[in-house]
Amino acid sequence: MDRASIMSSELHHILDDNSDSHQIAIGHLASSVLFVVIILYFWIGLSPFSSLAERASLPVNSSNPLNQLVMMSISLSVIAMLTFNPAVHLAVKLLGFLLVIFLWLAITSLAAPDPLFALRRLIYALLTCVCACGVLLLPRNSEHFARLMGICLLFMLALCYLGVLILPSRAIHQASDAVEIGLAGDWRGFFLHKNTAAAAMVYCVFLGLFIRTRSSAGLGLLIVTLSAVFLWKTGGKTAAAMLPAILFATWFFERAGHFRLFVVGLTLALMNYILISAAVSRSMQAFLKSNGIDATFTDRAAIWRIAISAISNSPMTGYGFQSFWGSDAVYRGEAAMKNWAVMAASAHNGYLELLLHGGWPLLVLMLLWMVILPCRHIGIAIKRKTEPSLTRLFIHCWLFSVFLGCLESAFLTGEQMWFMMLVSLFGLKLQAYADPILPPSTEPTKA
């Protein structure tokens, strides 16, 4: 088994006895700084508190050269740090199966309207995976991980609240916004949308609960409280309802044994069946309305109809990575005629979005990697009792991500939701297979 992980009591920094202590301290500081930079980059980005009017005027397939440069710099820094890290082989193993997925995406993207654009986006997505590995492999141990994450979360929450107090026109949805004027009054902080902010606050609650057990009870409770209040003010009903549901589901998962995969698979299938049927079936729409449920799911159904129609035209290869929305293919077909949803930037369903990226083969590969394998990893980690509090954190984030994907295009992006899902997926695998590094005094002696 691999003998290094963030989940161990003594993480992967195996240092030579003759190493200079000053160099060691500099290395630890550099790792900590890079960790903070990665978290803040993926959570806050380069343009916090963006104007929604300006964002609405950008093309769907627009790109930002500065963002690409910063992403490349951070990724190269992570690769450089991991190259000198004894745990570098773990990063290779974590990314192994993903390379098959990215290979398929590269092949299908060659037929995209703009192959170079699709491949650039694909490289960005791959570098996001590399950075998620770095977040797990850079800290010295789980306590160090909790402390660094606590610093990042406090900064981000403070920035969100300061935005509401000092820059409300950019931190709170306004009636004058270019789109979705009905969201006026909902908090969004430095995020682009209140739903994104709500999902981020749920992750903050999970992380705060972990920090409470592994670093500081006071800091953890403060993060949980600030996050919960902000979540409430976003008006994100879906995320707010999912929070207690995920906490219960995690408790169940820790005790469900071999039923884990059956339960999560069946629930995901049922949810997607109901949602997609609501877009095309009048009987399902009538059933949902009779139970007081918005059958359009806040107008997502119109977008889903376009996606479903397009998928039926290219079921095996899709349209290339992130190449469907904004292309000519969107405007073809019956479902797109006189439909405002042709202006959408995504399918608002991660599973439909995968089908648009790379067809059914991609969906099958992704379900294997992000649903089936994690259930196996959870079982092994729980049996081995490897840092239970950290395993619980990763289960929280993983479950929330896979179910949030039913209503948001949360997969294979550079956004907070996908980044946290990557961290949870990689973390669960490390929890399952990485052995702790024991201090020298407790290393077993060889016969």
Alpha helices in 291-387 (DSSP H): 300-313, 350-367, 373-384
Predicted local confidence at residue 432, as pLDDT: 87
DSSP 390-409: HHHHHHHHHHHHHHHTTTS-
| Cα separation, 262 vs 245, whole angstroms | 17
Q: Over the Cα atoms of the chain, what is R_g?
A: 22
Give the containing element (helix H, strand E) for 260: helix 259-280
Smallest Cα–Cα separation from 9: which of 140, 117, 130? 140
Q: How many CA atoms lie within 13 A of 57 on its CB side?
A: 5
Predicted local confidence at residue 22, as pLDDT: 66
Question: Which amino acid, 273?
Answer: Y
Residue 237 has a CB neighbour count (10 Å cut-off) of 11
pTM: 0.89
Predicted local confidence at residue 161, as pLDDT: 97
| Cα separation, 414 vs 209, whole angstroms | 25
Cβ(133)–Cβ(95) below 8 Å? yes
Sequence-ordered list of residues with C-beta below 8 angstroms from that of 84, at least 6 positions apart, any chain: 27
Predicted local confidence at residue 72, as pLDDT: 92
Q: What are phi and psi of 2, to 5 degrees?
A: -70, 140
Helix pair 217-234, 237-253: axis angle to 10 deg: 140
Per-10-residue mean pLDDT, the chain, length 447: 44 45 75 93 89 58 76 91 77 84 94 89 92 89 92 96 93 78 86 92 97 92 96 92 94 86 93 91 89 84 89 91 83 61 82 95 96 93 87 95 92 89 94 62 42
| Cα separation, 342 vs 331, whole angstroms | 7
Extract the tokens encoding 176. 């004058």
Q: 3-class SS at 86? A: coil
Q: Which residue has the tokens 């550079």?
A: 414
Handedness of CA 277, 279, 282, 284 (dihedral sign): positive
